[in-house]
Chains A and B, each alone.
Chain A
Amino acid sequence: MQVLLNWYHGLVKAIDSTFIVDGRYQIFLEGLGNTLIITLGALLLGVAVGVFVAISKVYYYQTGPFYFWSSLGSFLRTGQLRYLHQAILKLLDGLLSCYLTVFRGTPVVVQLMIWAFVVFSTTHELLVAIIGFGINSGAYVSEIVRAGIMAVDIGQTEAGRSLGLSAARTMQCIVLPQALKNVLPALGNEGIALIKETSIVGYIAVIDLTKAAALVRARTFDAFVPLLFVAAVYLFMVMFLSFLLKKLEKRLQASDRK
């Protein structure tokens, strides 16, 4: 009984020193805010980059294959713009493949430090973090979206084009909405992974939720309360995102009912 009572008193004291003393809850609030900003920013950037890359790669796949030097040669010889177009498409496709290889092939924490200490070396660490995570996430999102686009029946594209819609309009109004609906669960996975991945952002001196816990732990010498607390907050955020995704999926399923 005494043991339990002692443990309880210890816990109350630890909670007090973790959150109340010196207003330490403010560090956690700041950390939570940064985690949310980075996650949201990176998610938006990642989806934008991913959709762009996916559409470019599918477009090349559907019109190609072309060869860069021979297309360029044909352009220089004949002056026909369509050869230049082909050369640019091939170049873009090659660059995008390099992007996928590099950003999926190296650890995100290394990428983050390269952005922060080699490329930018600014004091806007939050922005650097958003760019770092966003561009990394975009590489994964692009493959998810590409799979989604390629799973939409080619007849949908043909129907759109046969009505006189341009290739871009057909993609925007007909193919992409169906593709995104199909890959929503996989995109949700990517979002969930991203939330938790941001916990390494302390490496570039951003105070996020995890870094906040580490700072407080260093002052109070108590690890139990701050770590379990931030773990619970991450869990809650992921559960909330899953809830939102489930709702969105339900809404998009309106056209599936028979």
Chain B
Amino acid sequence: MATNGKTTVKGDPFIEVKGLCKSFGSLQVLCGIDETIRRGDKVVVIGPSGSGKSTFLRCLNLLEKSTSGEIWFDGEEITGPKCKVDHLRQRMGMVFQHFNLFPHKTILENITLAPIIKKVMTKAEAKEKAMSLLTRIGLADKAKIYPNMLSGGQKQRVAIVRALAMNPEVMLFDEPTSALDPEMVGEVLSLMKDLAEDGMTMVVVTHEMGFAREVANRVLFMDSGKILEQNPPDVFFSQPKHPRLKDFLGKIL
């Protein structure tokens, strides 16, 4: 992966968050987040609902505007007024809890829409890329049908592939399996695992502790707008230190 003529090395600081705060009116959701995500990182963010995990993730690609603090992406400040938001988002894929596939477009069109409009590829290239991605997730036969005819798990896999079609350098996942029937969670997680094995930089907000344990190289615990603890998964789950984390793990494990 090389962008802006720079060669990139795994382990380089990639997204740097400094003192990030976010308020909705009088409600403070993020209170001073400092965090560095390196190239090749697989970071899983866990925490109780309302702890600010999703807001943190959405601040990273500027779907939410931070109230104060800085975010640096690949050496450039993206929280300043000069940031080219659309160009930035092209480099960061995002997957949503409710899939957000475009219901009026076929599966193929869902995937090729952005690459064609943003002129990342020609029509033919975009189609070829989309078909190879669909083949990879075993849904090539669904290319011509509409999202409504897919199951939840299939929809989410298509949504992941749609983000991948733009060749992003980092993927953000916002509770990708929370809206799925239990028997469909596995297929989505295994696609995400494949992605992680390919070396994709990933930030995942999830409640799937198995996934965190297996795939993450770092797990963050967030509560009331702060990162209270972070560690590699084996230490994180076996020796939690912060009482809030102990309490949280005690409830869910």
> A-side interface residues toward B, CB under 8 Å?
80, 82, 153, 155-156, 158-166, 169, 173-174, 177-178, 181, 252, 254-258
- Cross-chain contact B148 with A258 (CB below 8 angstroms): yes
- Cross-chain contact B117 with A165 (CB below 8 angstroms): yes
Whether A156 contacts B96 in the complex (CB less than 8 A), given A256-B148, A258-B148, comes out as: no
Is residue B206 contacting chain A, with contact meaning CB distance below 8 A? no
Please give me the residue from chain B that is nearest to A164 by CB atom. Answer: B90
Min CB distance, A201 to chain B, in Å? 37
Interchain Cβ contacts under 8 Å between A and B, 8 examples: A156-B100, A159-B159, A165-B114, A169-B117, A178-B102, A255-B146, A255-B147, A256-B148
- Cross-chain contact A255 with B114 (CB below 8 angstroms): no
- Cross-chain contact B63 with A159 (CB below 8 angstroms): no
- Cross-chain contact A155 with B146 (CB below 8 angstroms): no
6 shortest interchain CB distances as A-B pairs: A164-B90, A159-B100, A163-B114, A162-B94, A255-B146, A155-B100
- Cross-chain contact A163 with B163 (CB below 8 angstroms): yes
- Cross-chain contact B117 with A162 (CB below 8 angstroms): no
Chain B interface residue bracket vs A:
20 to 34
- Cross-chain contact B87 with A164 (CB below 8 angstroms): yes
Whether A257 contacts B146 in the complex (CB less than 8 A), given A161-B89, A162-B63, comes out as: yes
Report the Cα distance A166→B117, complex, angstroms: 10
Is residue B214 contacting chain A, with contact meaning CB distance below 8 A? no
Report the Cα distance A174→B96, complex, angstroms: 16
- Cross-chain contact B63 with A173 (CB below 8 angstroms): no
Whether A158 contacts B100 in the complex (CB less than 8 A), given A82-B81, A164-B166, A169-B117, comes out as: yes
Is residue B118 contacting chain A, with contact meaning CB distance below 8 A? yes
- Cross-chain contact A257 with B86 (CB below 8 angstroms): no
- Cross-chain contact B102 with A174 (CB below 8 angstroms): yes
Q: Which residues of A contact B104 (CB under 8 A)?
A: 177-178, 181, 252, 255
New A-B pairs, 12, CB < 8 Å, besides A158-B96, A160-B114, A255-B146: A159-B96, A162-B94, A162-B163, A163-B162, A163-B166, A164-B86, A169-B117, A177-B104, A178-B102, A178-B103, A255-B148, A258-B148
